Structure 1
Amino acid sequence: MAAPAETRRMTPFYRALHRPQQIMGGERELMLFSMLIAGGLIVSALNFVATVLGLMIWLVCVHGLRRMAKKDPELSKVYIRQLRYANYYAAFSRPWRVGKSPRIY
C-alpha cells in the first residue's frame, strides 16, 4: 500500500551527479588521449609540417569522438565491457527458426 503524497520523502536528483564526464562534447579519457598524442607529435618534431599534421589528426579525432558521444556518452566503456563478456554469451538461435517443444524429464 502506498503512503499518502504528503508523507512521502522527496529526494533531490542532481543532474551533475549522473551526467557523463565529457570534454568538448567527447568522452573525457579518449579526448584527453587524443590531445596528448597530437601534442606529443607537435612538441617532439617542432616544425610547421608536424604542427599542421598534429592539428589535423586532433581535429579528426575530435570529430569522431563527438559523433561517438552523441550515440552513447560512454561508448568506449560499453565496447570494452562487451569484449570482456564475450566468453559468457550463451548460444542463440536465429529468430526465424521454429523451435521444438522442450523435453521434460
Structure 2
Amino acid sequence: MAIDDKTRTELEAAAFRRLLEHLRNRTDVQNIDLMNLAGFCRNCLSNWLKEEADARGLPMSKDESREAVYGMPYEIWKEKYQTPASAQQLEAMKKTHAGH
C-alpha cells in the first residue's frame, strides 16, 4: 500500500487515539499487567509523549502528558482505578522488567 507521509501520520495518530480510548475504557487492566504482558504501560506512553514534545521544544509537563494518556489527572485515576499489586504480579515484574 502506497500512502503519502501526511496520510500515514494521520492514520498513526488515529490509531494512537483509539489505543488511548481503549485503555481509558479498560480501567480493569492494571499498568503492572500491561508491563508484565506487553512490556509497556500507560505511564510509558505518557513518557514517550513527553519525550517527543521535549525533542520538538514543545512545553509539556509530566502531569500534562499523563493526563493526555489517562484522560484525567493521574492521581485521580490512581485513586479510582489502581488496585494494590499482588505478590504474583510483583514477582513477574521483577523477572521481566527489573529496574522499571
What TM-score comes out, normalization by structure 1 length? 0.28
> Quick check: which has more Rg, 1 or 2?
1
More helix by share: 2
